[in-house]
Structure 1
């Protein structure tokens, strides 16, 4: 009987949205719940997960290599029930060392710490994707002042991990303007704002057609970029995830698209050989055979 080896894991960009998604999953939470099982069926269960979150920012890349990674409630003013949620996992000092070695080999600066801690950009989606909390997690902090091209290069340094059973995730938000949300402009079920739709559509089209000249210059070229991202730390983990595919010509697919509050996009992107298969799996509700 002939068997076909599974494709390497895709890398992912996940919009993690508000911490409240952990209590009120909505469409994005349902997508996260389907995402983990689909990846398992298509590619095998990851042996570790590396996450670059918009809430873990440093002057130079820092790999957190603690043997234990615990939940950090890095927010305030939310219901008490949210602070009772936990998602504590093993870390992986070995995978952390591998991450640091790959970054160093690419000629980029990197620091290793035997410390841990998962902000909500890490644990909120993972809690739905892998609720058993049985996969080691390695947080990767990154510099928010690096250009998209530099962050793409950081992601490209991590590309070998996908062939080693390690899932690489950039966690942020496809649109993120808390001034609009805090100002009460909108409600959770409001129809999507035209500016949000135009920005999200531009990113999807440029990703699908591999227009990286435009994507790397998104701040000037994308419609309503500054409105959707007054500061861009929530968007630019996109480039780390895309870079981890290894090539800007690798397949890219938006595997989930939804919006809450009219302007908070919750899109998920997959990059690499398995991107389209994952898109089909999530659209049909069952993992396709590769």
Structure 2
């Protein structure tokens, strides 16, 4: 294709995103139509945590309902997209060529960080999907490097997505008030991150844990932010960042989405 796909970071929020009307859901409903149709999709998900980097090789990956306490309707949903073992092999080769350890995951399915946003974007489930893991103990720099290893896929009709959460502290959510205002600490963290992303300030982003305000309150564990850095790296050397969406739920659950490259 003449113009590479951008890489995307999507905040997937609650699994209810799959079925509820919301600003984030409506955004995803339109996103698939706004992009050229990819031949395949590679997704680094916050809910596929493994080290070294694992790549899903399943030809028919199962839909994984990796959550509890939600309405029965959610557990009946399936996202029957095919895998693409040949692409998975290519992904693993690219990662290994970048000097990053990699391991095939032949039985891995599609967790809700993968299938929930894709159900809204591509409800026909007719585009092959290859999941890759993030390291729950890894850092931003290593995930940017992982994304860079995947950047060339964008020239070959592959959509690279990082699926996580822009601000993700489940213990601080106002569960009783879905429309609650965003608290100052979450807004300050989100604003700092947006500015650094706009400036393509990779040095600052790589040090987000010590430099961003309220960093560890915004992300008590890091796995939901690591897909952002994969998307940043997959955007290549281009400094272009577009904010595609901004909303929040339950106070501090920030659902930002970005395109890179």
**Would you say same fold, with TM above 0.5?**
yes
- Structure 2 match to 1:38: 34
Q: How many residues align?
A: 261
SS in 2 for 1:161: helix
How much has 1:186 moved relative to structure 2?
Answer: 5.4
Counterparts of 2:192 and 2:242, CA distance in 1: 13
2:124 pairs with 1:135 = no
Report if the CA contact (8 A) 2:137-2:222 is conserved: no
- Structure 1 match to 2:82: 90
How much has 1:46 moved relative to structure 2?
Answer: 0.4
- Structure 1 match to 2:239: 250
- Deviates further, 232-241 or 249-258: 249-258
Report if the CA contact (8 A) 1:61-1:109 is conserved: yes
Write the mapping of 1:158-169 to structure 2, written as runs, cut at 5 A.
158-169=150-161
Counterparts of 1:251 and 1:88, CA distance in 2: 33
Report if the CA contact (8 A) 1:186-1:262 is conserved: no
- Structure 2 match to 1:214: 204
2:242 pairs with 1:265 = no
2:5 pairs with 1:9 = yes
SS in 2 for 1:158: helix
Runs of 4+ in 1 over 6 A off after TM superposition: none
* Larger Cα-atom Rg: 1
Name the TM-score, length of structure 1 as normaliser.
0.87
Counterparts of 2:154 and 2:106, CA distance in 1: 23
Deviation per residue, 1:105-161 (Å, 9 max, x gap): 111111113223000000000000001100000010132222211111011000110
Aligned-pair Cα RMSD in Å: 1.2
How much has 1:70 moved relative to structure 2?
Answer: 2.0
Q: 1:25 to 1:60 in 2, by over 3 A?
A: farther
- Structure 1 match to 2:138: 146
- Structure 1 match to 2:51: 59
Name the TM-score, length of structure 2 as normaliser.
0.97
1:101 to 89, 93, 99: 93
Unaligned residue ranges in structure 2 (runs of 5+): none
